[in-house]
């Protein structure tokens, strides 16, 4: 929860609006989404009408012109109800709005941004491959120039929302050999001939969101769909990830807050030895530590988002975005594990939401760059100072 003394009234009103929507539309179906591993697409227009799906689209292209701080506020509030559904917040940011605004041409912005500004479509980003995770430079998917087209062949895996996306921001190798410089990015309609959507593996958490395999067989993409200059795809990807990583931290804070809320309620209700377990000092210490860690992560999160909104070219942003992602996700894993412990044996059962929170928290330490990679980014930035 934002400190009312630290933000203006508009942000507090925005937070309260998102919270009311999440409590009404998301919280009642969160457990079912997890159990069925299926999220109703009917939620998309609900989020779109509030400007959340398209939150980072600038006003001049018909969007809400949201800030990174607003995106993280919304992400945190929705993740308190459902981590899976929180992926609808900014669902077109990382794969469309951010790369188009920062690396696209004006023609591309006018071509694509008004459509996503309507808040009815989703997009996905195609980075990960069977042999390429943290090492983006190992991408093997190829894009070979053929007249006015690029012809793309290859495979991507774990592509979030690929089954519902209308567009994919695809990263492929446009020059031979290994290295970062030979990678380019393309914005491609998912119904382009030659794109085939494969299966989605069953996951520990993040149920309700599909992470699909994608296959590209002689996919022809016009040259005007190249985002940025050829060979600059890796640099563009890292820039977009730096701007988006705080939202992972925001979701982690939301999950942790939900775990603390549940733990507090349970500690007041559950009795052992004739009194509520919240009366016992060891339980109190766990609850206090959970709250301290959450507030520390939240303070770091909104300090960094304020910097991004104020000066998006600040050279410290990559390091600080990595700090937020790492600290908040590690915190969420610790807090949700402790929440299960507060619940005791009951916390290990699916009857209580803390079991889901713990499973969901884990992936925040892994995707959008593992926390091990984030620590390398932080350390290397420090050593350059």
Is 25 one of the catalytic residues?
no
As beta bridge partners, residue 172 has 184
CA gyration radius, the chain = 21
d(CA 163, CA 214): 10
Dihedral of CA 106/110/116/119: which sign?
A: positive
Per-residue b or e along 223-234, where b marks 16 or more CB atoms closer than 10 Å to that residue's CB = eebbbbebbbbb
Catalytic residue of the set 25, 76, 129, 368: 368
Q: Are strands 165-173 and 122-126 parallel, antiparallel or unpaired?
A: parallel
Per-residue b or e along 144-169, where b marks 16 or more CB atoms closer than 10 Å to that residue's CB = eeeeeebbbbbbbbbbbbbbbbbbbb
d(CA 58, CA 103): 14
- Angle made by CA atoms 244, 236, 331, in degrees to the nearest 5: 25
Nearest to 72 by CA among 15, 141, 147: 15
Nearest to 161 by CA among 79, 101, 90, 102: 90
Per-residue b or e along 122-131, where b marks 16 or more CB atoms closer than 10 Å to that residue's CB = bbbbbbbbee
d(CA 86, CA 208): 11
Nearest to 218 by CA among 158, 150, 165: 150
What's the token pair of residue 58?
A: 């600038």
* Element of type H or E holding 212: strand 211-222
d(CA 152, CA 175): 12
Q: Compute CA distances 191 → 28, 219, 220, whole Å.
A: 34, 10, 12
d(CA 206, CA 332): 14
Tell me the catalytic residues.
Answer: 368
């Amino acid at each position: 929860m934002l400190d009312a003394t630290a933000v203006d009234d508009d942000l507090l009103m925005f937070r309260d609006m998102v919270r009311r929507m999440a409590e009404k539309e998301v919280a009642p179906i969160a457990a079912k989404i997890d159990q069925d591993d299926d999220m109703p697409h009917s939620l998309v227009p609900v989020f779109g009408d509030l400007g959340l799906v398209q939150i980072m689209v600038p006003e001049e292209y018909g969007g809400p012109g949201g800030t990174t701080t607003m995106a993280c506020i919304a992400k945190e509030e929705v993740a308190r109800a459902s981590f899976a559904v929180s992926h609808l917040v900014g669902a077109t940011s990382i794969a469309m709005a951010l790369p188009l605004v920062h690396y696209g041409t004006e023609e591309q912005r006018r071509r694509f941004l008004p459509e996503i500004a309507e808040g009815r479509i989703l997009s996905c980003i195609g980075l990960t491959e069977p042999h390429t995770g943290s090492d983006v430079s190992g991408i093997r998917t190829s894009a070979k120039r053929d007249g006015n087209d690029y012809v793309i062949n290859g495979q991507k895996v774990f592509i979030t929302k690929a089954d519902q996306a209308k567009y994919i921001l695809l990263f492929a190798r446009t020059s031979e050999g290994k290295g970062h410089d030979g990678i380019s990015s393309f914005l491609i309609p998912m119904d382009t001939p030659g794109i085939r959507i494969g299966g989605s593996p069953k996951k520990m958490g993040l149920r309700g969101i599909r992470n699909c395999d994608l296959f590209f067989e002689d996919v022809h993409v016009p040259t005007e769909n190249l985002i940025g200059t050829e060979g600059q795809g890796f640099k563009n990807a890292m820039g977009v990830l730096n701007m988006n990583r705080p939202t992972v931290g925001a979701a982690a804070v939301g999950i942790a807050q939900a775990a603390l809320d549940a733990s507090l309620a349970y500690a007041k209700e559950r009795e052992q030895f004739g009194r509520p377990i919240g009366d016992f000092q060891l339980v109190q210490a766990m609850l206090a530590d959970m709250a301290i860690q959450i507030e520390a992560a939240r303070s770091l999160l909104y300090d960094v988002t304020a910097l991004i909104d104020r000066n998006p070219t600040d050279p410290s942003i990559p390091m600080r975005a990595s700090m937020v992602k790492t600290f908040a996700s590690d915190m969420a894993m610790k807090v949700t594990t402790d929440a299960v412990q507060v619940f005791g044996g009951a916390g290990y059962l699916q009857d209580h939401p803390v079991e889901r929170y713990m499973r969901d928290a884990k992936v925040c330490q892994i995707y959008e760059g593992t926390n091990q990679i984030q620590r390398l980014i932080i350390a290397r930035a420090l050593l350059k100072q």
